[in-house]
Structure 1
Amino acid sequence: MKPLIDLQLATQDAATCPSRQQLQEWVQLALLESTPPECEVTLRLVDEEESRLLNQTYRGKDKPTNVLSFPFDDPIDLAAEGELSLLGDLVICAPLVSREAEQQDKPLQHHWAHLVIHGLLHLQGLDHENTQEAEAMEALETRLLATLGIPDPYTPTHHQQQVD
């Protein structure tokens, strides 16, 4: 069974966004073994104003950001109830993703894949708050992206990106 994706297009840049099929592939690739494959995730693709507002509200940063992760924390074991496990919500700022890909001189779809995978890993509890966590998360992202033929986004040959 594949994860269920609730795709919400709330951007004027929808033409630059990946297809539902691409998003499905990246979400499925990023699921850890401990995550039920029949989980549900919301992907909300937004413009800069909504991203800025959410980043200000939840992180205290008054600027848009490329990806925000909102893990679902519920004490009820929904899988045991015969329902989907709710993984959480990802909010991705489409115009910022396009601008960053151009600034970093990388293919747009490669940057999208990286941010979706990065966000999905956050939804599953991975983080980069300290050096050890950051190195482990970056190594996993790099391995997952390599299966798609996407080069390591953290190598010096690629411009370093700001993934929040």
Structure 2
Amino acid sequence: MSLPELSLSLQFADPRHRALLPRHKVARWIRSALELPGEITVRIVDAEEGQRLNGEFRSKDYATNVLTFDYSHEPVVMADLVICAEVVAREAAEEQRDIVAHYAHMLVHGTLHAQGYDHEEEDEAECMEARESEIMLALGFADPYAQA
């Protein structure tokens, strides 16, 4: 099965993890979660920008791991994924997970949000988490929801 087409813009406002996120890997991780062709911008930010965006768009005064701004679900998925480098690094350390695997998970998670997946209700969360686990395992990573 071939993966959907992807137009990817990869931006590093916070360059500290640039070496961990080569373009070809980021594209592969996103494409694995896409169900339709996509135009996705990924922006890696510091905690200050992450907190500002989370406050401005979600009224939450802290930086979060990934923010998804989805503009179109079909016929082309169009979205911006904003990932906070400091939060991803902290979570990976706290959960004793590989930081590259955590970045991959955040990209898969954000890409699913860009297509309308959500986790506000329990049944939605179970569906989304099952899809994330399936994708991550197919990519060769551990299940992000399995207990370490």
- TM-score after normalising by structure 2: 0.91
Q: Aligned ranges for residues 86-125 of structure 1 at < 5 Å?
A: 87-125=78-116
Q: Aligned-pair distance for 1:103?
A: 1.1
AA aligned opposite 1:30: A
SS in structure 1 of the partner of residue 61 of structure 2: coil
Residue 4 (structure 1) aligned with residue 7 (structure 2) = yes
The offset of 1:12, in angstroms, is: 4.1
Q: How does 1:60-139 map to 2 (within 5 A)?
A: 60-73=59-72, 85=76, 87-139=78-130
TM-score, length-scaled by structure 1: 0.82
Whose helix fraction is larger, Structure 1's or Structure 2's? Answer: 2
Deviation at 1:7, TM superposition (A): 1.0
Shift of 1:154: 1.1
Alpha-carbon distance between aligned partners in 1 of 2:27 and 2:94, rounded to the nearest angstrom:
26
SS at match of 2:116: coil
* CA RMSD of superposed structures (Å): 1.7
Aligned residues of 1:27 and 1:116 also touching (Cα < 8 A): yes
Alpha-carbon offset, residue 95 of structure 1: 1.6
Partner of 1:140: 131
Contact 2:12 2:18 in 1 (8 A): no
**Letter paired with 1:59:** R
User: In 2, are the aligned partners of 1:13 and 1:95 still within 8 Å (CA)?
Assistant: no
Q: What is the Cα deviation at residue 19 of structure 1?
A: 0.8
In structure 2, give the amino acid aligned to 1:153: P
The 8 Å contact of residues 71 and 124 in structure 1, kept in 2 or not, is answered as: yes
1:115 counterpart letter in structure 2: M
Aligned to 1:82: none
- Describe the SS at the equivalent of 1:4: strand
Tell me the residue number matched to 2:47. 48
3-state SS of 2:147 partner: coil
